[in-house]
Structure 1
């Protein structure tokens, strides 16, 4: 059976101090799971722990680590198992970005974004599999984006990293299937989400960065992450009608979408307010070491609190699971098996 049991589990989340990672920590906590939260910023991480504990987590462990450091990630995985027991679910969410035209991003910045946003997923997945494969059990959830399929202007480094995650995750999934392993990996492609990244991401834009509307609250994304962890048999999930529309349009008419984004992509990613020069960013050092930014960005008044597409997809998935379970049970009864 591809789906995992939903009893209390040990869940590790990277990038857990803000945004989707923070909201996912609360969502898993509300189910009574025990959590290991990994992030760089101590203030944001400590606040995430308190929030998860209030939500009902059985136990919460805070681990400061930079996912760009493979040894640090492996040490974090070992600490999680030492304190919580075997890891059941690993969620990769940590990332960094630079908002700027490609020609204005330095080689050092491109390398750093790649190390965090792509190699961080690779290192964390390797650390998880070192522990899951010998037990032949576990789920890895890769938090992706529509950008994994459709690169957009002003985010070339981030687009490249998300494309890379898509490629390595597909290859890994094939290898797990070929080996007959019961370890599962799945990816959740997200829409634009109201997170702090637009305040702490490095930017050279003349105006403040914003997600391309429509914007969803991080709790919508977190619900999808939890659902994917419960139902890892599907190779990936698309969240939000905008994600579905973008990926379908890119599959059918990528050239037209190139031209559309060339016309609209610059203005759509800026909010009309001048950016303050010298604003701190989290590319090299965490900005939430002294201040907690929380899960939400500054777009609460514009963000959607639910996705009808996601609800419909989950309902259809649950119906499919029920039909499959019933069909299997009838087959076992027919042939005298229980």
Structure 2
């Protein structure tokens, strides 16, 4: 039997200059894929491109603000011209704002939603325009447990991620109506150790931190790559994501009270914040900010829950066979 070598795929990752987007680009590069890196930070893009190349991928760095539809469309055209037809598009770009609702100005709120929500709308439009014409391709949205459960001090992010769930419900139904084979998967993430907690706009008195438990971005990146190879509507990454989503469905009122008591302190370290620190809401913060945030010593490099979620059918089949064998043994 002749085994065919896997052909490299053309993959687009938004928000790829740092954090989770950069980790996702690394993971696709390790398969030898052609990876287009979309972000605003030129220095971070160039560093990410070198890392993609070192891992065996072919990079293309494109400086783009995903909130601008014309820039995203131009980027998609360039990707297909230089790398080939887009097989996988990963919407990951976001803008964090850590502040209570009434402290956020209308311009700050608008910009946060433009990047986190409309940036993904623009990415989805650019991807689906091309994928539906070929009747092939996979659109992946980086979601969050906060797409199902809002928490204090992150109303911008939570609102945008909730809105994306509605967007993709609509898009999936439209693709089914058209008989399209294009696939959409939402990969919902836990708290991660990424630079957003020192780059996001914060009006809290102490430095921002992810709500524990914290995972390394490579855990989530592996889930995104796996999603690109399978037809799965949603993937939940991390036991905390499962608990948050199910808890919100079963006891939303209790979570309101719990988060009202704990949601402020759990998102801040003991270190005072620097009110003059630059943030990336309206323009990139100069420099290369890497993949990880400052919480390596508190972050999990793997998730016990994730393999169970990814291989749930095999697990269910195995449990079924074990149960059948036990029943036969019992009868004997």
TM range, smaller chain: over 0.9
Q: Does 1:269 align with 2:267?
A: yes
- 1:313 matches 2:309: yes
Supply the distance in 2 between the matched residues of 1:90 and 1:177 (Cα, whole angstroms): 19
- Of residues 102-111 and 307-316 in structure 1, the stretch that sits farther from structure 2 once superposed is 307-316
Contact 1:91 1:141 in 2 (8 A): yes
Per-residue displacement from partner, 1:265-307 (whole Å, max 9, x unpaired)? 00000011100121000000001x3x11111000000000000
Partner of 1:325 in structure 2?
A: none
Residue equivalent to 2:157: 158
- Give, in whole Å, the separation in 1 of the partners of 2:183 and 2:234: 11
CA contact (8 A) 2:308 2:315 kept: no
Superposition deviation, residue 42 in structure 1: 0.6
- Which of 285, 301, 324 is equivalent to 2:297? 301
* SS of structure 2 residue aligned to 1:36: strand
2:67 touches 2:115 (CA, 8 Å); kept in 1? yes
Instruction: Give the unaligned 5+ runs of structure 1.
Output: 323-338
Q: Which residue of 2 aligns with 1:260?
A: 258
Deviation at 1:6, TM superposition (A): 6.1
Q: How many residues align?
A: 314
Runs of 4+ in 1 over 3 A off after TM superposition: 317-322
Query: Partner of 1:262: helix, strand, or coil?
Result: helix
Q: Secondary structure at the residue paired with 2:263?
A: helix
C-alpha displacement of 1:178: 1.6
Partners of 1:83 and 1:35 lie apart in 2 by 11
Alignment partners' CA distance in 2, 1:100 and 1:130: 36
Question: In structure 1, how many angstroms separate the alpha carbons of the residues matched to 2:304 and 2:11?
Answer: 27
Matches within 5 A, 1:39-58: 39-57=39-57
* Structure 2 gap ranges (5+): 319-332
Q: Tell me the C-alpha RMSD between the 2 structures.
A: 1.5
2:91–2:141 contact (8 Å) kept in structure 1: yes
TM-score (norm: length of structure 1): 0.91
* Structure 2 CA distance for partners of 1:139 and 1:63, relative to 1, 3 Å: same
Indicate whether 1:145 and 2:140 are aligned.
Answer: no
Q: Distance in 2 between matches of 1:194 and 1:317?
A: 30
